[in-house]
Amino acid sequence: MLNEDIALDMIRSSIVLLLSEKPLHGYGIMKEIEGRIGKPVNPGLLYPFLKHLEKNGLVKSTRKPVGRKPKKVYELTATGKELATRIYKRIASMVSMAIKSDLSVCFHCGCKIYEGGYREAEGDKERIFCCVHCAQAYKNELHSATQSTEKPRRR
């Protein structure tokens, strides 16, 4: 099923991203992912996937003492870290696409604002700023520009 493939790819991506944070043993990966996304990871998915990553040079494993006995700890290789970066970028572009219509742009600095912002009405126009400080900086710059274009008064 397509939905299962998508869900599995998300789990697989989550495993790679988790290993980009720190080396972990299999059970540690399962517990971390379950704690973060609220769904258990099937060992029947995890261990073959880790083996696949290792076979393709994306992960290396070493036996390290964890608790009372040594466990196989998995760590991303340089190539695995490149894969994690590509996954982060893909997720960022997907999130950007999902929220793009909800973004506003600060009238002063141009940064993108997802929620909130600081709004000020000027006549019949409403301007949105990322924060009150940008609104004040805009007013200060506007005031300075107005003063510098005024002709000096004669006495």
The span from the CA of 56 to the CA of 50, in Å, is 10
What residues does each domain of the chain span? 2-100, 103-149
In the chain, what percentage of residues exceed pLDDT 90?
A: 59
What is the reported pLDDT for 135? 92
Whole-number Å distance between alpha carbons of 91 and 75? 21
pLDDT in tens, 46-82: 999 999 999 999 999 999 887 788 999 999 999 999 9
Give the CATH architecture of domain 2-100.
Answer: Orthogonal Bundle (1.10)
Q: What is the pLDDT of residue 92?
A: 87
Residue 49 CB-half CA count within 13 A:
19
Name the nearest CA neighbour of 127 among 146, 108, 103: 108
**pTM here?**
0.66
SS3 67: coil
> What's the pLDDT score for residue 7?
60
Those residues of the chain that have pLDDT short of 70 are 1-8, 149-155
Q: How far apart are CA 6 and CA 64, in angstroms?
A: 33
